[in-house]
Structure 1
Amino acid sequence: MKGVVTGSNVKVLGRAVHSLSRIGDELYLEPTDSGLSLRSVNSSRSAFASFLFAPLFFQLYQLGEPQPFRCKVLMKSFLGVFRSLPSLEKTVGKCLILLKPSANRLVLQLHCKYGVTKTHNLAFQECEQLQAVFDIQRCASSLCAPARVLAEAVVHFPQTLAEVTLGAGPGGKISLRNYVEDEMEAKKTMVTELWLAEDEFQRVAVTPGSSITFCLKEFRGLLTFAEASNLPLTIHYDVPGRPVVFTLDDAVLEVHLVLATLLDPKSDSQCPMANGGVSHLPLPSDDLTDDIESYMVAMETEEEPGVPPSPTFPLNTPCPAQSDPEEEEEEEEEEEGAVPGTPPHKKFRSLFFGSVLTPGGPSLAPTQEVLAEDSDNDC
C-alpha cells in the first residue's frame, strides 16, 4: 500500500493519531478500496475508535498485495512521527505512507521545507480484523451539535474527572453533569451541572428523561479533533448500559467512537452485555438474545471456517457462598485499617468481556478470565 498526504491534510492525519492515542496502546491499520482505516481499542475493550480516510483524502492512494492486509503497530511509535502538530503545519509539505508486507515495515516519510526528509521505519505485526459491531439506526435517541458547543461545555469539568452523565430534560434541553458513584459521597463532592438549550443543537431527537454515563477522557479526544476540523458531532445512544456512538462525517473522512455506558441500577431496562458490567445486577443465563449483533463487539480473533466464534460474554454468575461470622469480623477489621484514599470499586467494567467485581465481596465467575487490570486511565 502506498499513500501520499499533502498540505493541511498532514495535520488532519496527525490530529487523528493524537485522538486515537487516547484510546489504546496499539494502532490497527487496514488499507481497503474504501480508504485507509486507522483503529484502536483500549485494554478493557470498553472504548473503540475508527478513522476511515477515503482515497480522495490522499494525493496518491494505491493498494498493494496481498489483499486484504491488516497490521498493527505500537501507538507510541506512530505517535512519535506526528508528535508536534504546530511543526507539521509549518514545516511538513508531504507525508508518504508505505506498507511493506515482505519486509514487515511501515515507512512514514515526512518531506519538510528546505529539502529535509525525515524517514521513520516502524515494525508492524500482522493481525486479524478489529471492528466494533453496532447499529446506530436502532438507537432511540440522537443529537447533533457543532463540536465547539460541546467542547465549551466540557471545559467546565476538571481534567481528572472520569465519567460524565448526559441527560435529556424538559423542553429539549440537554444536561451534562459530573458522575458521582455513591449517593452518600455526592453530599461531600462538588457537583457541576450545566444545561444546553435546544437551539444550541442542529438536531435533537431524544427520549425525554433519558440519560447515559460514559468516560470523559476518550470523548475529549474526539472533541479536540472535531473542533479543529470544524465538523459537527452526532451522538447516538439508547438505554443505559448499551454503547453510545459518536460519529463525524465528511466527504473524505468517516469517524466512529464507541464507548461503554454505565447501567442504571434503578432502570428496568437490561441488556446482556450491560449486565456484564454491573456488579450488583444478575447476569443472563444461557439464552443470549438474537440481536447480539446490535451491541458493541470489538475483538481480535482468528475464526476457522465452519466453526462459529465463541461468545465473549459471561453466561452466568454464581451466587456468593455464605461466609463465616468469624471471617466477616476479620474482613471488617481489615476495612477499618484500609489506607485512606483507596479508589472505590467501579460499577462497570468491560462492555465486551464483562469482567465483574462485586464491591467488598467475591470476584469473578470461575469461567471468566481477567484480560487486563483496571487502571486510572481505563473506565
Structure 2
Amino acid sequence: MNCIIPAQNTKVLSKAISALAKVGDEIYLEASRGRLKLTTLNMSKTVCAQCSFLESFFSSYDIKESELTKENKETLTCKLFMKSVLPLFKGNLEKKLDFLKIEFSTENDFIVFKMKYKFDQIVMIHKLRLMDLETLSIGIASSSGNNNLCASSSLLNQILSMFNLTDGEITLDIMSSRLIARNYYVGAASNPKLMRCEVKLGAGEFFIFDVKDETNINFALKPLRTVISFAETFNLQVGINFECGGKPLTLLMKNPTFEIHFIVSTLNPNNDAQSSMSSTSLPMSTQKTRRNLNITLEDQQALESENWDNVMELGNTSECGTNNNSFISMMNRANSDRSNMQRSKSNFYDKTSEFVVENSDNYLDIIPKSPESPRSKRIKLVFGRCYEPTICSPNLGQEIYGNSDSE
C-alpha cells in the first residue's frame, strides 16, 4: 500500500490520531479498496473509535491487488503502538510539510512514514515496528439504532459547559418532542459534593430529531467531550444514533472525504434506579403506619408492646356485661407504663447527647436536642486582662515614677 496525503489534510489526520489516543493505547490500520481505516479500543472494551478516510482524502492511493488476493483477503491489516505514532503528528504539520507518504507491505514487519518538508528539501523517514498483522472487527453498524439526533458542535459544547469537568457520566431522557440532559439519574445515592445540573432542549434545537421510541440512556462523558472537541475544530455536525439504554450508542461525524464515529456502551438508568431505591426505601408496612396513623412516638411504642390477646379477651367479656372494671384497669396500667417510659426517656436525654435508635426493625430514629455547650474557661484565661479596670480613681493625680532626665 502506498498513499500520499497533501499538506492541507495532514491537520485532519493529526487531530484524528490525537482523538483516538484519548480512547486506546493501540491503533489498528486497515487498508482496503477505496478507504483507509484507523481503529482503537479502550482497555475495558466500552468505547470504540474508528476513522475512515476515503480515497478522495488522498492525492494518491494505491493498493497492490496481489497483496489482497494472496490470502483471500480484502484488507491489509496491522497493529501499532499509539505512543510510537503520536510523536510524528505533533505541531502544525500543514504549515511545515508538502506531503506525507505512508508505505506498508505484508512482507515487512514495519510501516514507513515519509515527511517531505517545504524548506531545504528535507525528507524525514520514520520506520515504526508493527505489533502484529491482525484486525479488529466491531460488528456494530453506525446506523443500527432507530432513534437519530443531529446537532451542531456549538450546541453540544454549550450543553457540556453547564456540567462540571469532574462529572464522569451523563444521562439523557429522550422524549418525542424534547431532550433532558442530566449529570445524575433518579434513585442514585446522593453525593453532597456533586452539584446537580439539568438542561432541557426542545426538538427545534436540533437539525434532526427523529425519536421513535422514548428511552433513557446513561453513558460516559469522556468520549462525548472528545467528539465535540474534534467537531468544533472543523465545524462539523454531530449525529447521535441509539436504540435504548443498555445498547451501544454511536456518535457520528461525516465529511465528503472522511468519517469518524465513536461507539459507546450505555446503561439503563431506570433499572439502576429501581435497584438503588429498593435498597434505601423504608418497608411498606412502616410507610403505611406513618401515613395512616396520626399518633405520637410513645403511643406507637406502647401499642406495639401491649399484649392484645389479653385485651381482646377482656373486651369480649365486657360485651357480655362482666368484668368491665378490669378492662378499664388494664388500660390505666398501659397508660401509666407509657408515662413512666416517657419520663425515663426524658431523663436519659438530659444526661447524654448521643443519638438513640430504638427498635431498628421499625426504623424509628430518635434524635434528642443538642446539650448546651459549657462556657470555656480558656477564653477567660486568655482575655482576662481585657476585663480588668484600666483606671483606678485613688491613683488619679498621684505621681508614681519620677522624671528619668536628671535636669
- 1:104 paired with 2:109, answer yes
Q: Distance in 1 between matches of 2:156 and 2:5?
A: 29
Q: Deviations over 1:220-278 (max 9, x none)?
A: 1122222212221110111110000111222221222100001335389xxxxxxxxxx
User: Contact between 1:143 and 1:234, CA under 8 Å: does it hold in 2?
Assistant: yes
Q: Distance in 2 between matches of 1:202 and 1:13?
A: 27
Residue 271 (structure 2) aligns with: 266
Q: Distance in 2 between matches of 1:81 and 1:136?
A: 30
Q: Deviations over 1:309-350 (max 9, x none)?
A: xxxxxxxxxxxxxxxxxxxxxxxxxxxxxxxxxxxxxxxxxx
User: Contact between 1:213 and 1:262, CA under 8 Å: does it hold in 2?
Assistant: yes
Taking a change above 3 Å as real, the CA distance of residues 155 and 131 of structure 1, as seen in their structure-2 partners, is farther
Most deviating of 29-38 and 135-144: 135-144
- 1:83 paired with 2:115, answer no
Residue 55 of structure 2 aligns with an amino acid whose one-letter code is: P
Q: Distance in 1 between matches of 2:187 and 2:78?
A: 42
Taking a change above 3 Å as real, the CA distance of residues 186 and 207 of structure 1, as seen in their structure-2 partners, is farther
Q: Give ranges in structure 1 of 5+ residues lacking alignment.
A: 269-279, 281-379
- The alpha carbon displacement at 1:49 in A equals 1.1
The count of residues paired between Structure 1 and Structure 2 equals 267
1:129 to 130, 135, 138: 135
User: Contact between 2:7 and 2:95, CA under 8 Å: does it hold in 1?
Assistant: no
- 1:145 paired with 2:151, answer yes
TM-score by length of 2: 0.61
- 1:246 paired with 2:251, answer yes
Residue 53 of structure 1 aligns with an amino acid whose one-letter code is: F
What SS does structure 2 have at the residue aligned with 1:102? coil
User: Contact between 1:92 and 1:111, CA under 8 Å: does it hold in 2?
Assistant: yes
User: Contact between 2:171 and 2:185, CA under 8 Å: does it hold in 1?
Assistant: no
Q: Which has the larger radius of gyration?
A: 2
User: Contact between 2:104 and 2:111, CA under 8 Å: does it hold in 1?
Assistant: yes
Aligned-residue Cα RMSD (Å) equals 2.5
Structure ranking higher on relative contact order (CA contacts 8 Å, 6+ apart):
1
Q: Distance in 2 between matches of 1:156 and 1:111?
A: 44
Residue 77 (structure 2) aligns with: 70
- The alpha carbon displacement at 1:11 in A equals 0.3
- The alpha carbon displacement at 1:70 in A equals 0.7
User: Contact between 2:216 and 2:269, CA under 8 Å: does it hold in 1?
Assistant: no
Residue 25 (structure 1) aligns with: 25
- The alpha carbon displacement at 1:128 in A equals 3.0
User: Contact between 1:180 and 1:186, CA under 8 Å: does it hold in 2?
Assistant: no
Residue 271 of structure 2 aligns with an amino acid whose one-letter code is: K
- Percent of residue pairs identical: 28
User: Contact between 2:142 and 2:261, CA under 8 Å: does it hold in 1?
Assistant: no
- The alpha carbon displacement at 1:167 in A equals 2.2
Residue 6 of structure 2 aligns with an amino acid whose one-letter code is: T
Q: Distance in 1 between matches of 2:213 and 2:193?
A: 29
- The alpha carbon displacement at 1:105 in A equals 1.3
